[in-house]
Amino acid sequence: MEPPPEAPELEEGNSWLWRAWADLQGSRAYAGGGMGPLLPLPLSFATVDDYADRLGCDQDARQTLHEVIRALDREWRRLDRERSAAAANQPKEPT
């Protein structure tokens, strides 16, 4: 598994998008379990839209927020799947 990419340089005025991503992570739902691992679900449109409402985003900012969160979420879930697969392939230590 390759290391995650370096954090991008944020243009001035765009740090709110990174804060939004960090804030929204706590509202993530998970599915599965039982005999397999819990799998993170995508952040919902409604969750992101509610967050935009709380921030008082205009239509352009709201669209930007949805696009950025969707892209970050897709990448985060890809990395999470890779980490889970790598962990599942590790030999178990005897107890």
- pLDDT tens per residue across span 30-69: 998 677 778 899 999 999 999 999 999 999 999 999 999 9
Kindly state whether residue 7 falls inside one of the protein's structural domains: no
| Overall number of domains in the chain | 1
User: What Cα–Cα distance (Å) separates residue 91 from each residue in 11, 88, 94?
Assistant: 43, 8, 9
Calpha distance 1→48 (Å, rounded): 30
Print the domain residue range for 57. 47-88
> Contact 48/65 with Cβ under 8 angstroms?
yes
pLDDT value for 2 = 58
CB 45 within 8 A of CB 27: no
- In the structure, what pLDDT confidence band is assigned to residue 5 with cuts at 50, 70 and 90? low
pTM, to two decimals: 0.78
Tell me what the mean pLDDT of segment 27-32 comes to. Answer: 90
Residue 21 lies in a domain: no
- Entry field: residues in the chain: 95
Does the residue 60 lie in any domain? yes
Q: Is 12 inside any structural domain?
A: no
Joined tokens for residue 47? 């969750």
Does 54 fall in a domain? Answer: yes
User: Does 27 map to a domain?
Assistant: no
Q: Is 25 a domain residue?
A: no
Assigned domain for 2 exists? no
Beta bridge pairs of residue 40: 30
